[in-house]
Amino acid sequence: MPRVFLNRSVQIRPKSWRDIVQGIFSQVLSVTLASLLFSTTGFANWESQLLWNNDAHMAPKPIPIKLGPDERETISIFERATKSVVFITNTAIRRDFWSLNTFEVPQGSGSGIIWDREGHIVTNFHVVYGADSIQIVLSDQTSLQAQVIGVDPDHDLAVLRIRTSKDHLFPIEVGNSQGLQVGQKVLAIGNPFGLDHTLTTGVVSALGRTIKSMNDRTIEGVIQTDAAINPGNSGGPLLDSDGRLIGINTQIISPSGAYAGIGFAVPVNTIIRVIPQLIQFGKLIRPGMGISLIPDSIAARWGIQGLIIAKVEPGSPAEKAGLESARETRLGRINLGDIITKINQEPVNIFDDLIRILDRHKVGDRITVEVHRNGKSRKVKVTLKSID
């Protein structure tokens, strides 16, 4: 007999609170397990992808750096020359006003170059001026005490000496500043602002410049460069494109005191002439004629062009050449003697002109001096002698 399903209403019994709580708990547990399973799977996939990415990026293939011939040459010069460049710090001893105890005060810093294997260091005079203690740091970071051997304030040069093994000394290669040309490449090495060896490059901007030293004397034949020179570069080398010394960085022109594109270096030919004398005598032996001059300001007030001889030293080359000095009459008037107007055909109007010309000569050289006396001009030969 076939079965028949009847449509009838069914009575539903309400759930208890216990059933409701158990249902909610079961649903929460199911969702949590599903989330954990998804998270674990996702994290595993993410982690595996991260590791794969790290494997791809942690050990990249080295990319060779392509350097041009000029870059390789500059790097080679820097590596070679830095062994000859030192860092200089100077301190002065001061006394406390209240306790009267003495203490060292840093005065400044600069750079220097190793001149020879005897331990001589060449730098600027203004780098060591007023120093009671001078410390030298070599390229291998060896720190040594230095003593001043000789100074030439007129050319802003000084020679120091350190005591160390010759194995630590690498003298700079000396070049020639005679044939320099505007536009040729130069390199400056130093310790600007106390930083370790720093290289800057540029060109020779001008030649034959004149600048004033600390004692207001004229330095002739100075090299102008646009290679960046900052405080701390003073005393460091200016090199040519072969890495040879062509000058020592000495001054900058800057309204702010920092690099402004105009730097100056004392030419190496001047350094070659001065340094041996500073090493041997502790000072520059200047050639002279054995005369003293009336100040430029008085000569200008009198309307006289040239150098008025105030005194001729007895037995001097000037006396032997027959030069005469000014003299005072019994009435207190000044009778002028010889007025120097030219030396070796070059006009001289002020004392700096005389110094500039004599600076090119050495003791024993003969010069032609043109003088004006009593309305007449004449020329005499004078052999230069050593003066203090």
Whether 126 is catalytic: yes
Does residue 69 lie within any of the structural domains? Answer: no
Lowest-pLDDT choice from 99-113, 119-133, 244-258, 321-335: 99-113
Is residue 328 domain-shared with residue 266, that is, in the same domain?
A: no
Is residue 112 domain-shared with residue 152, that is, in the same domain?
A: yes
Does residue 42 lie within any of the structural domains? Answer: no
**CA atoms within 13 Å, Cβ hemisphere of 339:** 21
- Dihedral sign, CA of 269, 270, 271, 273? positive
Options 154, 156, 338, 359, the catalytic residue: 156
Options 120, 126, 155, 372, the catalytic residue: 126
The dihedral formed by the CA atoms of 289, 290, 296 and 299, expressed in degrees to the nearest 10: -100
pLDDT in tens, 307-365: 999 999 999 999 999 999 888 777 777 788 899 999 999 999 988 888 888 888 888 89
Q: Please give the pLDDT value at position 172.
A: 94
Q: Please give the pLDDT value at position 5.
A: 33
The maximal CA–CA distance of the chain, rounded, in angstroms, is 175
Q: Please give the pLDDT value at position 103.
A: 45
Q: What is the CATH number of the domain that holds 215?
A: 2.40.10.10
More confident site: 92 or 135: 135
pLDDT in tens, 23-71: 655 555 554 544 544 444 444 454 455 444 554 455 566 777 788 888 8
The β-bridge partners of 89 are 109, 135
Does residue 125 lie within any of the structural domains? Answer: yes
Whether 177 is catalytic: no
> In this model, does residue 242 exceed pLDDT 80?
yes
Cβ atoms of 380 and 321 within 8 Å: the answer is yes
Cβ atoms of 365 and 342 within 8 Å: the answer is no
Residue 83: φ, ψ to 5°? -65, -20
Does residue 206 lie within any of the structural domains? Answer: yes
Tell me the one-letter amino acid at 124: N
Q: Please give the pLDDT value at position 286.
A: 84
Whether 234 is catalytic: yes
**CA atoms within 13 Å, Cβ hemisphere of 249:** 36
> In this model, does residue 106 exceed pLDDT 60?
no
Q: Please give the pLDDT value at position 260.
A: 72
Total domains in the chain come to 3
Options 111, 234, 316, 325, the catalytic residue: 234
Give mean pLDDT, residues 291-304. 89
Structure token pair of residue 60: 């990249």
The β-bridge partners of 201 are 187
